Structure 1
Amino acid sequence: MPELVRLLTEDGERIEHPDYDIDLTAEEVRGLYRDLVLVRRFDTEAVALQRQGELGLWASLLGQEAAQVGSGRALAAGDMAFPSYREHGVAWCRGVDPVALLGMFRGVSHGGWDPREHNFHLYTIVIGAQTLHAVGYAMGVQRDGDDAAVIAYFGDGASSQGDVSEAFTWASVFNAPVVFFCQNNQWAISAPAERQSRIPLYRRASGFGFPGVRVDGNDVFACLAVTRKALKDAREGRGPTLVEAFTYRMGAHTTSDDPARYRTAEESQAWRARDPIARVRAYLAGNRLAGPEFFEAVEAEADLLGKDVRRRCLELPDPGPAAMFEHIHSGRHALLEEESAQYAAYLDGFTL
């Protein structure tokens, strides 16, 4: 395996890296641990809701919490994030209400949150399309003379899409202030990573003329440090960076998938031993930065979060039929208004 940036071992031991260093206070580390635990608890509850018929589908992030929380906490307030459909941890870091995420998978909203309020774009289901959106936004930021950066999230499978290659080309040629954050969880549904590329994914960046780096995606410290530097480079005019977070999808691709059909139990078990939450807990406990009371309090908060999102999810109102015409255009649209009126008249024909 190519060398990857790591700052925290699987046993919770802090190590140094010559190019990436980070100085975190005990409070900040405790905050990262809390993020990881709460994000996982929310994800677990969402899976349960889907299994009970309350969501149409769910894309779990189990195992990828460190990649998302680390990169999400590296973002400045003015930076814009473009997610795919699995970045629940980044959404958490950007202050998006978890229930807003559930609303989309429950089928009661088109998106559920205002991208401008959180600087977190709506989920993108079309694989890889968000990378082009991100580059276009970054070029706009560049032309406006703003000092913000942009980050685009995608998976190893999306790296094979033409949209991603086009995004790389545009970002490189125009030196756009964008970070491409690839969560390589090693399985594009049932296709393994070796079916996606004959070289490590981060090395693809060199062919487009910008740097790439592979980071331990289960190390929240390293993900934070590497993403923070890449965003800083973007803001300071040094152009794009490709970050490959080497991690593992512990669960299914979505709740409609059965990973046992294409990967071994031994492989999954080996990666569970590299749990991103366990290593931060080991670091905190081993350095006496947190005791049993802290860990118990976080678990209690996680339980409350799970109960809260479940209750509020079940309380989400079903939209009326005419809701399909809402939030399509930013302003009035004559054809849409005509179609909406025709549909309303059609529905009125069923009134007793």
Structure 2
Amino acid sequence: MKIFGIEFAPLYLPLKRRLQTLAVLFYVLLFLQTFSLIGFFLFIYLLFTKFYWLSLLYAIWYYIDFNRPYSGGRKVSWSKTWSIWKYFRDYFPIKLVKTVNLDPNENYIFAISPHGIMCFSAMINFATDATDFPSLFPGLEPHLITLNGQFYSPLMREFFMMCGACACEEKSLKYILTNKDRCKKKGQVCALLIGGARESNEAYPGTYRLILNKRKGFIRIALETGAQLVPVISFGENDVYNTVEVKNGSYIQTIQNFAKKYLNIGLPIIRGRGIFNYNFGIMPYRVPINTIVGKPIPVTKISNPTEEEVSKLHQQYKHELIKLFEENKSIYLTNKDAKLEIF
């Protein structure tokens, strides 16, 4: 049924389809900081009620626990097995593909591309067990590395840490990869979206435009810690929304650049589907996403790597990433002529 050009979903759909939509809606609202606003509102509201002591206790806890996202986080294993994540996975669906076995006696940086609009595959693959990470990579413990701002809100910080996520800071990655304190054993994985917020502005359907040429911090950390570097690419991540292409020098691009520079967020102009319709809203389209984990690049630990050593490993990583893309695009893409564009 269409009304004013909007195509509405049938009234009678299988329950599992409705639950899949609700699961993804939960994450979309999470990504759009809805729960951050709720967390801050509750914190302030309770201060003016007889339950003010709850906010005060949490404020003390927050102060004491402030550095936890930078020191290994606080994973709660059962949160990674919630049924909601399986419905989330099946909405698209999302699949995690292993190409080689990984040694649990090593630490790893999973360098993931592309960022996409809302990092759907990174969340489900590396912050939950829905795509069978534990059975695919036995002995490895993944930590999704996400923006520091996710750990400022009273509710958001606890939720992301429960899922094993940690802050995107040099000291955070080094804490995990050098096996300090809470991360004493080997087999630690930092799952890092290399392109960041800027790359989300380049997430056009059918394209793979990566912000990578000047991103060398993760390379230096790999060398300094001896962590093995693993190229990871998600086919379909950029296809879940219709993204409006922004012209160079336009007013919209100026706003995007401002948001990236001062707020560290991307502001892509997107069009998706709705909860009850197929062609208007903020929900992603049901497009398959396949995340391919490549073979690790051996890294020899160097306490103080030179720029030449960093650049050499960076070039090797780009070469392996392109190779991984080319070897798998014929399997997972309908456009066999697609190219990986690196900026």
Same fold (TM over 0.5): no
Give the alignment's TM-score, normalised by structure 1: 0.28
The structure richer in helix per residue is 1
For normalisation by structure 2, the TM-score amounts to 0.28
More strand by share: 2
